[in-house]
Amino acid sequence: MYLIRFDDICPTMNWATWTKIDEILTTEEIKPILAVIPNNRNPEFFIEKEIKDFWDYIKKKQKQGWSIGIHGYQHVYVTNCSGILGLNPFSEFAGLPEEEQEAKISSAIEIFGTNGVEPELWIAPAHSFDEVTIKVLKKHGITIISDGFSLYPYVDNGVLWILQQLWRFPKRKMPFGVYTVLFHHNSWTERNLLTFKKDIKRYRERITDLKTVISLYSSRKKSLIDNFYEIFINYLKVNKGKALKHIRSGLMNLRSMCHYV
């Protein structure tokens, strides 16, 4: 199954492109995850004039079944920490003291609440957050995180991890697993839109939504195969030049462990 996620949703984003994306998603009856920046201060996303009914739009989409996530606070990087996942050497949260993270997350949640939107999950800018972030999120009742690497969602230490492994649809359909496909639409061209529309039609029967994934996996514990997959992906990230020659042996090990799932 595939989940669709769009990041960097804010009042000053690329609305000309987003309107067309919304039309595609609505026509195909797809309910994506929207990663909403509560108080954007990142100049990269000041693309169009701010729309005044932004939160009314987000509230409407949530009522239609689209899932709304908190995408940080201001989407401004203030540390050089890569956080738990180690994907990017910068962060809005990782490495900050608990009181600073508490202030940011509390302010973000307050903005959502003031505008009548219930945040359903956490989506960190740059995929960068740490154990302190998770502690603060749990304190505020947010126990779903869209990030990380595994084949299937799992619950670990009270948090449901809905993994985000892809940045485009694969050329071949995966035989198993649940994959979140992440898109950043603010820099899209007409060609990107055309590709997206074709891929949506091609994969439509396998595209699901957050609520379905929660219902299926909210009780699944982290397993040996999850640990193996995470280690394997981290190995590929660190050893890109050597990775290909080890993929075959890695897959053989994965197959031999499948009976532990």
- The pTM (predicted TM-score) of the whole model is 0.84
What 3-state class would DSSP assign to 183?
strand
Look at residue 130 in the predicted model and tell me its pLDDT.
Answer: 94
Q: What is the pLDDT of residues 32-67, one digit of tens each?
A: 999 999 999 999 999 999 999 999 999 999 999 999
Q: pLDDT tens, 192-220?
A: 999 999 999 999 899 999 999 999 999 88
- Identify the CA nearest to 128 among candidates 167, 93, 100, 164: 93
User: Cβ(68)–Cβ(58) under 8 Å?
Assistant: yes
Residue of 208, 105, 224 lying closest to 154 (CA atoms): 224
